[in-house]
């Protein structure tokens, strides 16, 4: 099973998406959107951003953890990864996202 963008209900009637790998692990998590259609339009931007290095930013916490975000052309954060404690996990997840986001199907839960 390839990676999938899953759109699901969030709090207070909003919709949220996440990109899941073939084992069902969350690779990135999007924000909350008023409609499924709006979530889908942001997913399209994540697909583009995941292929372009200038739209991916590596971030760090004060405690030394690291994560990455995918932004659009205006610099707005569209999705972010989990927090990683080592460089290898960070790089592996980023590689999975770059490899799979552009072709991932959309599903609803």
Mean pLDDT confidence for 47-56: 96
The pLDDT of residue 107 is 97
Residue 44 gets the label, from left (phi > 0), alpha (psi -120 to 50) or beta, of alpha
Among all chains, which residue has been given the structure tokens 């909350």?
32
Helices first, then strands: H and E counts in the chain: 2, 7
Q: Are 3 and 101 in contact (CB under 8 A)?
A: yes
The pLDDT of residue 54 is 96
Mean confidence (pLDDT) of the chain: 96
The pLDDT of residue 1 is 62
Residue 21 has pLDDT above 70, yes or no: yes
- Backbone φ, ψ for residue 27 (5° rounding): -95, -45
**pLDDT tens string 66-106:** 999 999 999 999 999 999 999 999 999 999 999 999 999 99
């Amino acid at each position: 099973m390839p990676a999938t963008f899953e759109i699901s209900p969030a709090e207070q009637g909003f919709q949220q998406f996440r990109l899941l790998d073939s084992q069902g692990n969350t690779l990135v998590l999007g924000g909350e959107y008023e409609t499924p259609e709006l979530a889908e339009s942001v997913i399209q931007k994540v697909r583009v951003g995941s292929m372009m290095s200038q739209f991916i930013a590596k971030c760090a916490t004060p405690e030394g953890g690291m994560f990455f975000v995918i932004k659009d052309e205006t610099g707005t954060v569209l999705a972010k990864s989990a927090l990683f404690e080592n460089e290898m996990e960070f790089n592996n997840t980023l590689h999975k996202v770059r490899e799979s986001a552009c072709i991932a199907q959309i599903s609803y839960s």
